[in-house]
Amino acid sequence: MASSSAVAQEAAAKPHSATLRVAFRSPGAATMAKRSLEVDEELRPEAVDCSLSVDGSDLVFRVEGVDERAIRLKLSSQLDMLGVVARTLREFGDEAVSRG
């Protein structure tokens, strides 16, 4: 477990943040999207952190970064991948969610 000073240093190192909520048709669809997006490891963990969570039928992105550019790049990448996930869920619908 990280000490409180280590957590404070990490927060200071990534002083910028953004939160984005994306609504899905159901909690199952939001969970499927979250699991699909969690597969890839962060390429630049020293510059940006991204956490995903599900709140009801919303997928919540929380991004923290060293600057606004790092956050913008991460959100842009995540939204591109989210577009693929959303199109797949739309194409296969509840069948994809029930198998997940």
Q: Please write the tens of the pLDDT for every residue from 82-91.
A: 999 999 888 8
Torsions phi, psi for 92 (to 5 deg): -100, -10
Q: Which residue has the tokens 């939001």?
A: 30
CATH T-level topology, domain 4-99: TATA-Binding Protein (3.30.310)
pLDDT on residue 90 = 87
> Which of the four pLDDT bands, split at 50, 70 and 90, describes residue 7?
very low
> For the stretch 17-35, what's the b/e string if a residue is b when 16 or more beta carbons lie within 10 angstroms of its beta carbon?
eeeeebebeeebbbbbbbe
Tell me which residue of 50, 49, 62 sits closest to 22, measured CA to CA.
62
How much is the pTM? 0.75
pLDDT at 73 (0 to 100): 92
Mean pLDDT of 30-59: 90
